[in-house]
Amino acid sequence: MTALEHPAYRAGKRLWSAREDSLLRERYPNDPTGALAADLGRTLLAVYGRARHLGLVKSQAFLDSSAACRLRREATPASIATRFKPGQVPLNKGLRRPGWSAGRMRETQFRPGERKGIAVHVYKPIGTERISKDGYRQRKVNDDLPLQRRWRAVHLILWEEAHGPVPPGYAVAFQNGDKTDIRLDNLALIARRDLMARNSVHTLPPALKQTVQLLGQLNRQIRRRTTTHAQQD
């Protein structure tokens, strides 16, 4: 029995034997890969992968032959024979054109803005409100794409109507921490770094929480006065 007749396996994968590698080196450059794969009892992908691993390539004589059956950057008899020639008309010319439909195809085509099937049942009109997974009330403001831009937090809409767009690096927060209490008096513009510290403070005991908040206020006062003095100097 030859090595080809007694393949070795590891972890359920058939290994390449020395005999197979030798045959591959000998025949791959000049033989059609399909015929070689059949003789080895391998798939085309397996043969291509092993050839790449061994650094094997097809010979120029094979690439120039009709057995290659593919177009390449350099012209060959096989590629030239399959090229479109000047004046040659494509076989599908006139069969398809914008708006063309055969039979009742036009009756089943989607039209701009049209919804069918499940889209009709899940669609929410503009102005619909919902509660996000983070507990914020959101309102649908358009039907555009991407989908996540169709919904905006109601408290942001309220703030921007009164004060304009939120500056970069800032966020609109609820002063009493209640996301359901959407009032302009309950909203405050706060730097995101301060918002991060504020959110982490809520997990502390009340006494320690108050101390951290007072310390934050003190640090902000120090930064303001330091900046004022630097500008005056």
Q: Which tens digit of pLDDT belongs to each residue from 181-202?
A: 999 999 999 998 888 777 766 6
Whole-number pLDDT of residue 70: 55
CB atoms within 10 A of CB 28: 21
Higher pLDDT, 99 or 62: 62
Average pLDDT, the chain: 82
Q: Measuring CA to CA, which residue among 24, 53, 55, 54 is closest to residue 39? A: 24
Confidence grade of residue 54 (pLDDT, cut at 50, 70, 90): very high
Average pLDDT in the 94-122 region? 70
Sheet strand arrangement including 129-131: 129-131, 137-140, 151-153
Angle at which helices 192-201 and 206-232 cross, to 10° = 160
Q: Which tens digit of pLDDT belongs to each residue from 143-181?
A: 888 888 899 999 999 999 999 999 999 999 998 888 999
Full-prediction pTM beyond 0.85? no
| Boundaries of every domain in the chain | 14-81, 124-192, 203-233
Q: Where are the beta strands (DSSP E) in 44-203?
A: 129-131, 137-140, 151-153, 170-174, 187-191
Confidence grade of residue 86 (pLDDT, cut at 50, 70, 90): confident
Tokens of residue 33, six digits: 């890969």
